[in-house]
Amino acid sequence: TTDAAALADTGSDPRLAAALAALLAALGIALRLRRRPEAD
């Protein structure tokens, strides 16, 4: 996640940083759902 944070930090476009953050959040959620397929 350090690379993504560095990219978002160096990027001057706030929309790019927001898109990266949203992408990372979605990826984290997807990984959590994959870890627990039917554990509700």
16 CB contacts (<8 Å, ≥6 apart)? 8
Q: In one letter, which amino acid is 1? A: T
Question: What is the C-alpha to C-alpha distance for residues 30 and 40, in angstroms, rounded to an integer?
Answer: 15
Per-residue confidence band for 36, with pLDDT thresholds at 50, 70 and 90: confident
Instruction: Give the residue with greater pLDDT, 14 vs 26.
Output: 26
pLDDT tens, position by position, 5-22: 666 565 568 888 889 999
| CB atoms near residue 36 (< 10 Å) | 8
